[in-house]
Amino acid sequence: MQASTQEAEPTNAPAARSWQDLLFNRRNLICLFQGFSSGLPLYVLITLVPAWLRSEGLDLASIGLLSLVALPYTFKFVWAPLLDRYRPPFLGRRRGWTLIAQILLLVTIGLVGAYQPAISIQQIAILMFVISLFSATQDVALDAYRREMLADEELGIGNSFFINAYRLSGFISGSLALILSDRIPWSAVYWFVAVFMLVGIITTFVVAETSDDATAPRSLRKAVVDPFIEFFSRDGWRSALLILAFIIFYKLGDSMATALQTPFFIDLDFTRTQIGIIVKIATAWSVIAGAALGGFVMLKVSINRALWLFGFVQIITILGFAILAKVGNNPVVLFMAVSAEYLGVGLGGVALAAFMAKQTSMRFTATQLALLTSVSAISRTFANATTGFFIEAVGYFNFFLFCMLLAVPGMLLLLWIAPWSEQQTLLHRNSG
């Protein structure tokens, strides 16, 4: 599907473009701001709220179970067809739905701090569920917008900008917010974080719309049924299932390793200020390095080879957390472990996002990307819900070694999904 603005590049552009043109353009700047807006509410749920609850005395198993409120990330494909089928009365299909979700996120994030974990845990859980619902909806709209805006050769670098800005948004909820929590009430901390949703809201207003209403599904049935029929029949249902299995397993190991990282640091007796400063400085530099390295590598190598290279990196870097578990309260080791881990997380995430975008038909971007990203969220949801039980059963050190083993099945699936030799690829995807 052709985008309706000048920002969108045709996916079959015949002329080769320089790496400077692919790297430095307005589309990547849009990906940067949209990635920040997309990541902020997720990091509220997986970083800020767990740190808050742990500091208030809630046990790890209960904190892990609360992560089940993030199930909307896993099931967003259920309502994604509505975002393909219906157009809000303002800003267009992609920007209209994005703006609605962003405004609701600003309000609900701010309201979390009004409750006390000791007496209002049910209300907090409900608000967490609502935040994940609105956040998943924002992701559906933004993922479709990005796929329609970027040409095929821009998927690697564009998703690199998006994902690494997504990671950098964790600096707000996992660093600044934790530092502030030592000085001001939690109720003010949550409103402080919520205001940063204005970054996404302003971006939504200033960018142009990408969706073309002429190609939108003309009935709800077509919006719901056709994307799934197209995906599963394109290369056969077995190929489609292999792709879905790969998406689940590729990042399972590092999802488990980072699921309860903030409670892990607290249990090692790091203060919230130390976590806020050391962890987020380490995250920030490694994310920036990951953006530069991942973007440049994917300008030179294919998505297939990037999946192999970055997959091995994200397995090896989990070892840093195991070393930290043995060493204990050591700020230098904390900095090194987090730096390594998030370099691997960022690189693997860039390659996986580009891979998923390439699997979609341009006729069904919102629904098919929602399906694929929902499947990718299964590993994170499973990790968040079960990690507390694993840690309490085997201890942190053995747990992180187990996380490294969990990453192996995803790498093995690359033999069928994205073999190193491009000529051997069995699963070709048509973006048209």
Domain span including residue 94: 21-419
Separation of first and last alpha carbons in the chain: 7
- Residue pair 203/37 in contact by the 8 Å Cβ criterion: yes
Q: Are 180 and 71 in contact (CB under 8 A)?
A: no
The stretch 160-175 carries a mean pLDDT of 80
Q: Tokens at residue 120, please?
A: 């209002």
**DSSP assignments along 134-198, one per residue:** HHHHHHHHHHHHHHHHS-GGGHHHHHHHHHHHHHHTHHIIIIIHHHHHTTS-HHHHHHHHHGGGH
Asked, for residue 10, whether it belongs to a domain, the answer is no
For 87-145, the pLDDT digits (tens) are 888 888 889 999 999 999 999 999 988 888 777 778 888 888 999 999 999 998 998 88
Q: What is the pLDDT of residue 5?
A: 38
CA–CA gap between residue 175 and residue 409 (Å, rounded): 33
* Backbone phi and psi for residue 328, each to the nearest 5 degrees, phi listed first: 90, -145
Question: pLDDT by residue (tens digit) across 212-242?
Answer: 666 667 777 777 788 888 888 887 778 888 8
**Residue 428: band (very low, low, confident or very high) from pLDDT cuts 50, 70, 90:** very low
| CATH code where residue 165 lies | 1.20.1250.20
Dist CA 91 CA 52 (whole Å): 37
Q: Per the domain annotation, does 318 fall within a domain?
A: yes
Beta strands in 182-260 (DSSP E): none
Measured CA to CA, the distance from residue 117 to residue 99 in angstroms comes to 30
Would you state the torsion angle of the CA atoms of residues 382, 383, 389, 391, taken in this order, to the nearest 10 degrees? Answer: 170
Q: How many domains does the chain have?
A: 1
Pair 373, 91: CB distance under 8 Å: no
pLDDT per residue as tens digits for the range 320-353:
899 999 988 898 999 999 998 888 877 887 788 8
Domain-embedded: residue 424: no
pLDDT of residue 9 exceeding 60, the answer is no
Question: Does a structural domain hold residue 146?
Answer: yes
- The mean pLDDT value of the chain amounts to 80
| CA-derived radius of gyration, the chain | 21
Cα-based torsion angle of the residue sequence 325, 327, 330, 334 in order, rounded to the nearest 10 degrees: -40
- Residue 378, in any domain of the structure: yes
Residue 8 lies in a domain: no
Structural domain contains residue 219: yes
- pLDDT band for position 194 (cuts 50, 70, 90): very high
Residue 207 lies in a domain: yes
